Amino acid sequence: MNGLTILAHSFRQVTGNLGMAVKVSGWLVAIYAIAGAVLLSMAPDWLNAAIDQNAQGMTDATDLTGGSVGLVLLLILVATVFLLWSISLVAIVWHRYILLEEIPQGVIPYRSDYRIGRYFWYGVGISLLALLIVSILSGILGMIFGPFFMSSLQGGTGFLGATFLMGLVVGIVVLVLYMRMALILPAVALDEELTIGQAWSQTSGYTGAILGLALAMAFINAVVPMVISLAFAELVWVNLVLLGLYQWFYFMLNISVLSTLYGHIVQKREVY
């Protein structure tokens, strides 16, 4: 097994089941598309000023609208919580479809026995743990390569290049650490028991494949949005729609990658 094989298998899981992918997650996309359109059509003066980067306009509009800013912030908080809950639900349903061939029921395929809260908090926990490990690693690298960065300040291009490279390395390390621990997420979705330690142990022989997978996914996520933005820079709405479709597909691909890793490493399924 190698990273490209995992990615290709996961890619086919999405493209070969596009109808089901839309059924699993389309309700969430529809809700936020409608909510976004309504918000833009009813945007308060301070939000319009913020979009136009008009600081004085924001101040004046805030003074005139009184408590409306607080209401909007409350709505944003509620929308964020709902989004996180919804993403966890979509991930659980997709894991179960891929690994159990369980057909979701209903427009919003919610079931009371889904452990949505547990899935969400495990996802947050392993993300923070990966970031903590990388922060420590970055501190060590900073002490080792600090003189190089100081010398690169003399040339703007060299500094930007070194910063970009360091950011890329850190991002890939985070992704590798995350994917090695994230096998617990499909386990939660399938109501199976797996600890972070067990996930780490079972992926120990697959570090090279996961590294290749992380590199491929980082490359895709860097190149595709850039190509879309450059190709449709003058067509703002087309650009936004295509970027939105890409983000949806990339999100479903990420869930499929975890499903593929879990199926191959834990359940011993063949990947081709």
Is 272 part of a structural domain of the chain?
Answer: no
What is the mean predicted confidence (pLDDT) over 118-124? 91
What is the mean predicted confidence (pLDDT) over 113-131? 90
Residue 90 sits at the vertex; the CA angle it makes with 101 and 81, to the nearest 5 degrees, is 160
Is 204 part of a structural domain of the chain?
Answer: yes
In this predicted structure, the answer to whether residue 144 has a pLDDT above a threshold of 80 is no
> Rounded CA gap, 68 and 70, in Å?
5
Residue 145 is predicted with a pLDDT of 63
Question: How many CB atoms lie under 10 A from the CB of residue 40?
Answer: 11
Is 230 part of a structural domain of the chain?
Answer: yes
> Rounded CA gap, 263 and 272, in Å?
12
Residue 45 is predicted with a pLDDT of 55
Residue 209 CB-half CA count within 13 A = 19
Judge whether 271 and 9 are in contact, CB under 8 Å. Answer: yes
Is 221 part of a structural domain of the chain?
Answer: yes
In this predicted structure, the answer to whether residue 164 has a pLDDT above a threshold of 90 is no
Token pair of 38 as six digits: 């309504």
Percent of the chain with pLDDT over 70: 78
- 20-24, 49-53, 121-125: which has the minimum mean pLDDT? 49-53
Give the mean pLDDT of the chain.
Answer: 82
The pLDDT confidence band at residue 163, using thresholds 50, 70 and 90, is: low
Residue 205 is predicted with a pLDDT of 87
What is the mean predicted confidence (pLDDT) over 104-116? 91
Residue 272 is predicted with a pLDDT of 82
Q: Which residues contact 131 (CB under 8 A, 6 or more apart)?
A: 174
Is 174 part of a structural domain of the chain?
Answer: yes
The pLDDT confidence band at residue 237, using thresholds 50, 70 and 90, is: confident
Question: How many CB atoms lie under 10 A from the CB of residue 1?
Answer: 20
Is 239 part of a structural domain of the chain?
Answer: yes
In this predicted structure, the answer to whether residue 155 has a pLDDT above a threshold of 70 is no
Maximum mean pLDDT: which of 141-150, 165-174, 214-223: 214-223
Residue 157 is predicted with a pLDDT of 55
> Rounded CA gap, 107 and 171, in Å?
36
Is 110 part of a structural domain of the chain?
Answer: yes
Please give the residue range of the domain that contains residue 62: 3-266
Q: What is the DSSP-derived secondary structure letter of residue 155?
A: S
Q: Higher pLDDT residue, 47 or 114?
A: 114
Question: How many CB atoms lie under 10 A from the CB of residue 268?
Answer: 7
Is 271 part of a structural domain of the chain?
Answer: no
Token pair of 248 as six digits: 């949806």
Token pair of 37 as six digits: 């359109």
For the segment 84-109, what is each residue's pLDDT rounded down to a tens digit?
Answer: 899 999 999 999 999 999 999 988 99
Token pair of 134 as six digits: 């990388």
- Helix (H), strand (E), coil (C) string for 199-262: HHHHCHHHHHHHHHHHHHHHHHHHHHHHHHHHHCCCCHHHHHHHHHHHHHHHHHHHHHHHHHHH
DSSP codes, 111-150: -TTS-HHHHHHHHHHHHHHHHHHHHHHHHHHHHHHHHHHH
Q: How many domains are there within the chain? A: 1
What is the mean predicted confidence (pLDDT) over 194-217? 91
